[in-house]
Amino acid sequence: MPQQKDTSRNVRRRIRAIEEPAFKGKLVIVEGVDGSGKSTQIRLLEKWLRHQHIPVFFTEWNSSQSVREIISKGKKKARLTPTTFSLLHATDFADRYERNVFPLLRAGYVVLADRYVYTAFARDVVRGCDPRWVRNVYGYAVKPDIAFYFRVPVDIAYERIMRGRPKLKFYEAGMDLNLSKDPFESYRIFQGRIVDQYESMVESENFTVIDGTLDIESQQKIIRQKVVDMLLGHKEVKYIPEVPSS
């Protein structure tokens, strides 16, 4: 058979084939307000998947090395506007996405993300950015295979956070929104508004809701079962672990 000629059209076609995201991996993410217990759960899930020899990659919000320093510098000066605040976090996300999430999904990893685009959808909109604008900024990001949303009443989440950490940072408390002069009161109102945003996405973004008031073990069991169900419908993963019955 004659070899295909190296015409520019063929080259273009081959490049397109490379760029086409034929994902072999799976993306599982967790969302919820601070103190909802999501980080604890995804860490447990990660440990378990690793133990089962499944290739796993873990990534979390606001953790890209190169962008993080600049964000923390900007936050110290407290001169971030809702738009720059949003764009800096979008830069952090893009860096982790281009560097890790996208290539690893294509390589067949199970990628676990502690917070994903929905954190931006919730926070930036509460801060006053246009919801359509924020969704466009993250419009290139692949949809997760499972998006766990940890539903917890604001007061419980608030109390969990207050138990461990008596000080609140400026942006964390939403002080830039002028909700209240008292950081604690501001934080409580801010978190409440974020919960409203999350709740409005449950249907449209197909969240798998986890009752964050259950004990840690019960939550983890539900999560593992959901992940196994998802992996079972997935040919690339050869070894599917069993969820031990308690």
Partner 1 sequence: MTNPTRQQMYQPIKFYAHGIPYLKDDKIRGRLIVIEGPDASGRSTQIELITSKLEADGHAVVNTGLKRSELVSEGILLAQQSHTMGKRTLSLFYAADFADQLENKIIPALEAGYVVLADRYIYTLMARAVIRGLGRRWCHNLFGFALVPHLVFYLDVDPAELVHRVFLKRSSLDYYESGADMGLSDDMYESFIIYQGLLAKEFYKMQKRYGLVIINGNRTIQEINMDLQKRIDSFLGSGSNGKLGL
**Interface residues toward partner 1, by CB under 8 A:** 66-67, 69-70, 73-74, 77, 79-84, 87-88, 90-91, 94-95, 97-99, 127-130, 132-133, 136-137, 139-140
With beta carbons less than 8 A apart as the criterion, state whether 42 and 58 touch: yes
**Smallest Cα–Cα separation from 119: which of 69, 72, 61, 41?**
61
Order across the sheet with 208-211: list the strands.
56-60, 110-114, 26-31, 146-151, 208-211
Measure the CA angle with vertex 220, ends 64 and 240; round to 5°.
Answer: 85
| Cα 60 to chain centroid, rounded | 7
CB of 115 to partner 1, least distance (A): 17
CB of 76 to partner 1, least distance (A): 11
**Smallest Cα–Cα separation from 28: which of 3, 62, 65, 54?**
54
| Token pair for 18 | 């490379």
By C-beta, is 68 or 234 nearer to partner 1? Answer: 68
The Cα 38–Cα 57 span in angstroms is 17
By C-beta, is 10 or 72 nearer to partner 1? Answer: 72
Phi, psi dihedral angles at 210 (to 5 degrees): -115, 130
CB of 20 to partner 1, least distance (A): 13
By C-beta, is 10 or 81 nearer to partner 1? Answer: 81
By C-beta, is 21 or 244 nearer to partner 1? Answer: 21
CB of 32 to partner 1, least distance (A): 25
By C-beta, is 93 or 150 nearer to partner 1? Answer: 93
Sign of the dihedral through C-alpha 170, 173, 176, 179:
negative
CB of 198 to partner 1, least distance (A): 20
By C-beta, is 74 or 241 nearer to partner 1? Answer: 74
Which strand (E) or helix (H) includes residue 160?
helix 154-164
CB of 169 to partner 1, least distance (A): 18
